Amino acid sequence: MLSQTLNEKPESLLPTAAGTPGVATNHAPNAIDSRTRFLRGILWTCLIGFTLYYLVLVPIDNEKDYLREKYHFEKHMQADIDQLVAGSLESSIVWDRLAEMTDLYGARLVGTDALEKSIDWVIENVKSDGLIVTTEEVVVDYWQRREESLYFLSPTRGPVKMHILGLGYSISTPDPINGLVAEIVVVHTKDELDQLGQAGKVEGKIVLWNKPFVSYDQDYVYRAFGALWSQEYGAVASLVRSLGPFSLQTPHTGVSYAADIPAASISAEDADILERSLKRHQKDPEKFPEWPKVKLTMSATTDLESRISRNIIIELRGREKPEEIVVVGGHIDSWDIGVGAVDDGAGCFIAWETLRQLSRLQRPPRRTVRVVFWTAEENTSVGGVVYAKNHPETNSSRHVFAFESDTGVFDPYGISFTPGQSRKKENSGGPSNDAFDFLLAAGDYFLGPRDDLGYPGAGRHVLPDGEGADIEPLCNQGIACASFTPADPFPLPYSTSPYAIKGALGAVDGDGKPYGEYRHKRLHGHRRHHRHHSHQRDARRPVDSGYFYYHHTEADTMGVFTPDQLKRSAAVMTIWTYIVAESSIEF
């Protein structure tokens, strides 16, 4: 009817030859046709606009109302979150403070003065914020790397210096000054080692584990157990390829479970040189008659339980439920290479900023928020063990949520979450969806619509499996646990190596699904219409192999991230901590 009406031209509206109404001429002015088309356009525009409003905007508003009512999101929470975000973004204090501490004291190996001076520096600055800070002593081991080197004894080039890092708790070579010289044998799996070992081809040799990186969870066992496995067959030392998807002659350190032979990490490039050399010899021994040899020198030492370190505890008491504690933090120690900015200085400092921002609210959250900088995570995680032992559940105090950041701090992606024991179904024993659904809804409601945290909806995602090394003792007590999850810094590695690309894309969750394809659950009985739900809006995915470009290497420096990334990540951690601390539900 609308189009019919607009196309009709009543004679009463048309001019006549003599100006007499009702008598049409054959020469209507263009102005009349233009006006008709203009009016028609206005009507169609209005019709389309009303249609879009009722199909898109009204459902979005309805969903926000639905979420607010179902999950009891109180109106003051949005105002508080807006203030927290504005405060987090207003200055580069997180980056500035982390740069100052790492510039002053460098890496923070457990047992060193550098770690304890860094702890003193943090305490002094926390007090300047007007926050309550205490410490608790932790007895720690002291492993020292000292002097170490590896040379490939090339028949044509002479000694070629290679890039290594001794692994934590490794012993020294039998002669820590002159080292040891031995032929190498290359393996990629435990099965290959067993086959060669049972054939007597490992005894007296140095085992090189040269397995290309796929994922940390899959590959770290060769670093952790490679020396133990190798010594069973009479090997004199163990070398493991750097545990990362990409290398610029950057070996990757970490703990190796104590064995009776020395253990070190070797850069990916150098590991490949040694394997190629061995393959040439095995393929054409007449042309390449010498079995590849290396000279390894290490002088590492370990003093067990010989030093005292400290956990740092910073607290903001809750206004209504002070006995219920939401703990947030990271580990203050690092390895002795790089400066420990990525692992895990930034994780600690965004937690510190979380408490600083929460303390500036007119009213603190309902629950107590406690920030902990755990010590000694890198070698034994004893700081987390001591904390859990020193803070058991009592009638006046209990942990309700443990939140850790220890997978890097880049752009925010969201959190990973494991519900507490109190949320288990009585019959099936499986985790309840209630707490998970609450957090999904909170992410959609408070973070989904935002576009001021790097990209639309940044930080809103909720993934499964939130345990971490420092909070594991609390998780094991049945407390709900979560981990801050950054976006991976590299959607694909810069390297075009097929191994690197496989590593970047190969990690899967417990169901065998790639983490990047994680699908949000639908809210029960309600269709979702948010503009910000599509994963196609950007190429970001949760942190995976990109973190291991820097992890436990000399590349762990302040240059890895920008001040703006730390601002945005601090804002997201603050939002999630506030949501948990302000809510009344059991997680």
pLDDT value of position 218 = 92
Query: What torsion do the CA atoms of 92, 97, 98, 99 make, to the nearest 10 degrees?
Result: 90
Residue 557: is it exposed, middle or buried by C-beta count within 10 angstroms (0-12/13-18/19+)?
middle
pLDDT value of position 307 = 97
What token pair was written down for 316?
């903001």
Nearest to 161 by CA among 301, 290, 266, 291: 266
Helix H, strand E, coil C: the string for 492-547 is CCCCCCHHHHHHHHHCECCCCCEHHHCCCCCCCCCCCCCHHHCHHHCCCCECCHHH
Which of 63, 116, 315, 377 is catalytic? The answer is 377
C-beta atoms surrounding 11 within 10 Å: 10
Quick check: 235 and 207 in contact, CB under 8 A? yes
Nearest to 236 by CA among 289, 294, 178, 290: 294
Domains of the chain by residue range: 1-37, 102-140+308-582, 146-299
Active site residue 183: no
| E strand map for 249-355 | 263-266, 293-298, 301-316, 321-331
C-beta atoms surrounding 328 within 10 Å: 31
* Cα–Cα distance measured from residue 138 to residue 39, given in angstroms and rounded to the nearest whole number: 79
* Cα–Cα distance measured from residue 474 to residue 327, given in angstroms and rounded to the nearest whole number: 10
Q: Is 514 left (phi over 0), alpha (psi -120 to 50) or beta?
A: beta
* Cα–Cα distance measured from residue 109 to residue 116, given in angstroms and rounded to the nearest whole number: 10
pLDDT 10s digits, 161-197 = 999 999 999 999 999 999 999 999 999 999 999 999 9
pLDDT value of position 413 = 97
Strands 398-404 and 321-331, by their bridges, are parallel
pLDDT value of position 516 = 33
pLDDT value of position 50 = 62
Nearest to 472 by CA among 351, 581, 387: 387
pLDDT value of position 433 = 67
Nearest to 523 by CA among 59, 54, 56: 59
> In the chain, which stretches have pLDDT less than 70?
1-35, 38, 46-64, 422-433, 491-539
The Cα angle at residue 18 between residues 14 and 22, in degrees rounded to 5: 40
Crossing angle between the packed helical segments 216-231 and 190-198, to the nearest 10 degrees? 20
Q: What is the pTM of this model?
A: 0.82
- CA torsion sign for 53, 59, 63, 69 is positive
Name the fold adopted by 146-299.
Answer: Glucose Oxidase; domain 1 (3.50.30)
pLDDT value of position 222 = 98
Name the fold adopted by 102-140+308-582.
Answer: Aminopeptidase (3.40.630)
Crossing angle between the packed helical segments 93-105 and 346-358, to the nearest 10 degrees? 140
What token pair was written down for 522?
């639908």
Give the phi and the psi of residue 426 in degrees, each rounded to 5. -65, -40
Nearest to 413 by CA among 445, 444, 452, 457: 457
Name residue, tokens 């200085």.
345
Quick check: 288 and 109 in contact, CB under 8 A? no
